[in-house]
Amino acid sequence: MSASQPASTRRFAETAVQKAALIVGIVFLVVGVAGFIPGLTTDVNALLIAGHESHALLLGVFQVSILHHIVHLLFGIAGVAVARSASASRQYLIWGGVIYLVLWIFGLFVAGDNPANFVPVNTADNWLHFVLGVGMIALGLLLTRDRTRTRRTTTA
């Protein structure tokens, strides 16, 4: 199928942005499941539903809770689902990235033993959220820019 075909006739994960959304979604699913596996998550017995009192650490670094894993799983399901549409994939990546940047800002203020740290997040989580936010937004924007319009503008 060519790039000129309407998005409605494109197949699942055909475009670059759809593939990116699918890969991001699969990674979120893997991380969400990994959070419940002893060995990949230390102190899995200390895993709480939510709150900074959860002392479980994914890969021994990222503070996690059941809520944290559910969010990862939901982001994963969404990423796989939107891979059917280029426009939905773009929106998923951009707005998902915005959500992660908001979570990064939230974490800058509440990380650690702060009672408002309901997710929970620690410093490692904060910087991962920053990288995810910037990366997802970049993928959503860069993989959907209109190269044809850019080429016509520069050759005219």
pLDDT in tens, 92-109: 999 999 999 999 999 999
In a domain, 10, yes or no: no
Beta strands in the chain (DSSP E): 41-42, 57-58, 62-63
Contact 129, 99 (CB under 8 A): no
Residue 4 domain flag: no
Flag whether 76 is in a domain: yes
> Per the domain annotation, does 105 fall within a domain?
yes
**Residue 91 pLDDT exceeds 90:** yes
DSSP assignments along 124-148, one per residue: HHHHHHHHHHHHHHHHHHHTTS-HH
Q: Kindly indicate the confidence band of residue 5, based on its pLDDT and cuts at 50, 70 and 90.
A: low
Q: Please tell me whether the peptide bond between 120 and the residue prior to it is cis, using omega within 30 degrees of 0.
A: yes
| Distance from C-alpha of 29 to C-alpha of 94, rounded to nearest angstrom | 19
C-alpha angle with apex 24: 91 to 66, nearest 5 degrees?
100
Classified as helix, coil or strand, 38 is: strand
Q: What is the CA angle 28-98-12, rounded to 5?
A: 50
Cα gap 24→31, rounded to integer Å: 11
The verdict on residue 19 lying in a domain is yes
Residue 51 maps to a domain:
yes
Domain that holds residue 59: 15-155
Q: Is residue 84 assigned to a domain? A: yes
Q: Taking the model in full, what pTM does it have?
A: 0.81
User: Which carries the bigger pLDDT value, residue 10 or residue 33?
Assistant: 33
Confidence of residue 151 (pLDDT cuts 50, 70, 90): very low
| CA atoms lying within 13 Å on the CB side of residue 40 | 9
In the chain, the number of structural domains is 1
